[in-house]
Amino acid sequence: MVERSFSREYPPWPLPAVGVLILDRSRILLIKRAFQPSAGRWSIPGGVVELGEKVEEAAKREVREEVGIEVYDLELLGIYDSITRDSDGNVRYHYVIIDFLARPTSIAVTPSSEVAEYKWVDFENIDELDVSPSLVQLIKLHRERIIRYCQDKKKSIDGR
């Protein structure tokens, strides 16, 4: 096996990543990232797809690793580029992000060291938070679809 070692910062090529918009009724699980990119901003659980891993498996693994819960009913939401440039115009980060909608098997979160803070937020109040640029784009592109998913899956995990 060939060992490939490089930093996620200033990568030689775009990195495939996943994000998971976890919904419990009209609430979304948000995490405040502890590390770059988007450190200190609210986002959704996710991360880089590992070699040999299918994207749905990566989505489930990242949620389990970051917030300690299992998800089901994954639905592909969208795919887009998240590109961050430095002041000289060089690409500092470039992720091709595959986002999913999902339901949690539990709302009891156990955050990892990658998560500075977490909270369940009503979807309609998300604009009041300092969220990552990728989450802003995700909601802008898919607001109606996210609302329909919430309405189609009205029953909460805790029976409300």
Domain 15-152 top-level CATH class: alpha beta
Confidence of residue 6 (pLDDT cuts 50, 70, 90): low
Residue 35 predicted with pLDDT over 90: no
Is residue 47 within 8 Å of residue 92, measured between CB atoms?
no
Burial 6-35 (b: 16+ CB within 10 A, else e): eebeeeeeebbbbbbbbbbbbbbbbbbbee
- pTM given for the model: 0.86
Q: What is the pLDDT of residue 160?
A: 43
Q: What is the mean pLDDT of residues 52-81?
A: 96
Q: Where along the chain do its domains lie? A: 15-152
